[in-house]
Amino acid sequence: EAGVAQSPRYKIIEKRQSVAFWCNPISGHATLYWYQQILGQGPKLLIQFQNNGVVDDSQLPKDRFSAERLKGVDSTLKIQPAKLEDSAVYLCASSLRSGGSGANVLTFGAGSRLTVL
Amino acid sequence: AQSVTQPDIHITVSEGASLELRCNYSYGATPYLFWYVQSPGQGLQLLLKYFSGDTLVQGIKGFEAEFKRSQSSFNLRKPSVHWSDAAEYFCAVSGGSYIPTFGRGTSLIVHP
């Protein structure tokens, strides 16, 4: 089966500019996650979608970050305006569904590396 | 709240030597536990998981991990390390929310 697709793989922007990342999950996976991975740290959850609804966005900096998952498939994560501390790898992951044994095994994409100058 | 501690930032082993990466978790009930591996420029790949049952779980690439409830640990082991095992290893825990929380990772360096 095809994996989780993400684009772009790399992006360099100036601070205060905007950027958008795209994710296409594994077909049939109802749950989609965006994680932020800062260099030297583990991934930190930004937002979780179940189909096209938000399950958890408690750690999403909503003053500058937004995400949507139209039609319950693809998702876009946007940052506007970007700050220096947003430099990180943005990982998209998907799973079959949320909850239950065997249901929260995440499959990750390769990530989108953002550098903010 | 759930959390994971990986006390070792870097581990260096010789090729062919055994490996143990430490992971301690904090969660009030029985957790779901995972080990993921991340090669440079890649996403995270699942090595193994523990949901219930046998506390010794086998994974891909010859890795295994043991769940020890009394020690709140889920250490990853491999009897003989190959150069291709050099990567970043992440332990993760999920509980009632089913959303994994990751540790900061341990970087494995393999000497020839």
DSSP output for B45-108: EEEEEE-SS-SEEE-GGG-EEEEEGGGTEEEEEESS--GGG-EEEEEEEE-TT---EE---EEE
Whether residue B34 lies within 8 A of chain A, CB to CB, comes out as: yes
Tell me which of A42-56, A88-102, B80-94 is least confident. Answer: A88-102
Pairing of β A31-37 and β B10-14 = unpaired
A 10 A CB-CB count for A115 gives 13
Q: What span, in angstroms and rounded, lies between the C-alpha atoms of A33 and B101?
A: 12
Q: Is A5 on the interface with B (CB under 8 A)?
A: no
Partner-chain contact B49 A48, CB within 8 Å: no
At residue A84 the predicted structure's pLDDT band, cuts being 50, 70 and 90, is very high
* pLDDT for residue A101: 55
Taking the C-alpha atoms of residue A38 and residue A45, their distance in angstroms, rounded to an integer, is 12
Whether the CA torsion B98, B69, B66, B21 is positive or negative: it is: positive
**Contact (Cβ atoms closer than 8 angstroms) between residue A11 and residue A116:** no
Chain A contact set for B42 (CB, 8 A) = 110-111
pLDDT of residue B30: 80
Q: What is the pLDDT of residue B42?
A: 85
pLDDT of residue A98: 59
Q: Is the pLDDT of residue B98 over 80?
A: no
Q: Which residue of B has its CA nearest to A6?
A: B43
Gap between the Cα atoms of B5 and B23, Å rounded: 6
Partners of A105 on chain B (C-beta within 8 Å) are 34, 46, 49
Instruction: Note whether B29 contacts A: Cβ–Cβ < 8 A.
Output: no
pLDDT for the residue numbered A24: 96
Mean pLDDT (whole number) for B74-89: 97
Mean pLDDT of chain A: 91
Tell me, yes or no, if A56 comes closer than 8 A to chain B by beta carbon: yes
Cβ separation A104–B41 shorter than 8 A: no
Contact status, residue B37 vs residue B47, Cβ threshold 8 Å: yes
Q: What is the chain A residue with the closest CA to B101?
A: A44
Q: Please write the tens of the pLDDT for every residue from B27-63.
A: 878 889 999 999 988 889 999 999 888 899 999 999 9
- State whether residue A80 sits within 8 Å of chain B by CB: no
Write the CB contacts of A22 (distance below 8 Å, at least 6 apart in sequence): A6, A7, A74, A75, A76
Burial of B81 (0-12, 13-18, 19+ CB in 10 A): buried
* pLDDT number for residue A51: 87
pLDDT bracket for residue A100 (50, 70, 90): low
User: Most A CBs within 10 Å: which of B49, B98, B104, as the mutation test of the A interface?
Assistant: B98
Q: What is the pLDDT of residue A86?
A: 97
Partner A contacted by B43 (CB < 8 A): yes
